[in-house]
Amino acid sequence: YGGLMALVQKDMKSLVAYSSVSHMGLIMLALFSLNVEATEGALYQMLNHGLSTGALFLAVGVLYERTHTRLIADHGGLAARMPVFAGFFLLVMLSSAGLPGLNGFVGEILCFYGVFAADKLLAVLSVSTAVLSAAYLLWLYRRVMHGPVKVPGGATLRDLGLRELACFVPIVVLIFYMGLFPGTFLRKMDAAVSRHIETVTIKSRTAAVRPGPAPSGPVGAIPEGMER
């Protein structure tokens, strides 16, 4: 639902917001799969979401600060005017879409693997998250970065400054690091996630076999106060 809503948005900020809803749906599905792979994938995807979606909102803010509009139809041809920004924008979008080698891929593949182990039908349906994500993000990039320049003053737009680069560069470094070396984070989750799954599983089984309270008094007796 979040992916389909993102496809029809006219405002860049709304599109990123609905993409966030879509990714959160996959995270919740993975958490309720109650296995180690899905839970670690959900936790990792929460970290990825903070980087990728945060960077997307930052990119939208950079454009709005220069053009004073967030409407997709008002933009176009910005890659030729702002090549450095276009490169960073493409990287964070591919990260959000789950490109192998970037952080989003690791979290998504773990979520899909764990959900498939729990329920194959839900796993097949959840893949729509990745498919729609690639669709609306790449379509957004094409409309904003390619084609004719539409925004007034687009020919004179300045590229990223030092302050903006200081915000984007650490995010991109983490995107690559988390995509190439996920074990740095996943190993720290193993013990806590295993204990969590074990605790939930034991409590669920205990609740399933726990007998109900035995009735007090002889069988068929009318409870006190109900004689009338």
Q: What digits encode the pLDDT tens for the residues 73-124?
A: 999 889 988 999 999 999 999 999 999 999 999 999 999 999 999 999 999 9
- Whole-number average pLDDT of the chain: 88
Task: Quote the CA–CA distance of 18 and 11 in Å, as a whole number.
Answer: 11
Residues in contact with 129: Cβ distance below 8 Å, sequence separation at least 6, in sequence order? 3, 22, 23, 25, 26, 108
Averaged pLDDT for residues 197-204 = 84
For residue 86, what are its two tokens? 């276009």
How would residue 228 be classed by pLDDT, with cut points 50, 70 and 90? very low
Q: Is the pLDDT of residue 205 over 90?
A: no
Q: Model pTM? A: 0.83
Q: Is the pLDDT of residue 155 over 70?
A: no
What one-character DSSP code corresponds to residue 200? H
Question: pLDDT tens digits, residue range 6-48?
Answer: 999 999 999 999 999 999 999 999 999 989 999 999 999 999 9
Residue with tokens 């034991």: 202
CB burial string 153-169: b at 16+ within 10 A, e below: ebeebeebeeebeeebe
176 by Cβ neighbours in 10 Å (0-12 / 13-18 / 19+) ranks as: middle
Determine the pLDDT at residue 169: 95
Q: Which of 57-66, 77-86, 132-141, 219-228 has the lowest average pLDDT?
A: 219-228
Task: Quote the CA–CA distance of 118 and 111 in Å, as a whole number.
Answer: 11
Query: By the 8 A CB rule, do 45 and 186 touch?
Result: no
The rounded Cα 177 to chain-centroid distance in angstroms is 18
Determine the pLDDT at residue 202: 82
Q: Is the pLDDT of residue 204 over 90?
A: no
pLDDT > 70: percent of the chain: 89
Query: By the 8 A CB rule, do 186 and 44 touch?
Result: yes
How would residue 152 be classed by pLDDT, with cut points 50, 70 and 90? confident
Task: Quote the CA–CA distance of 19 and 12 in Å, as a whole number.
Answer: 11
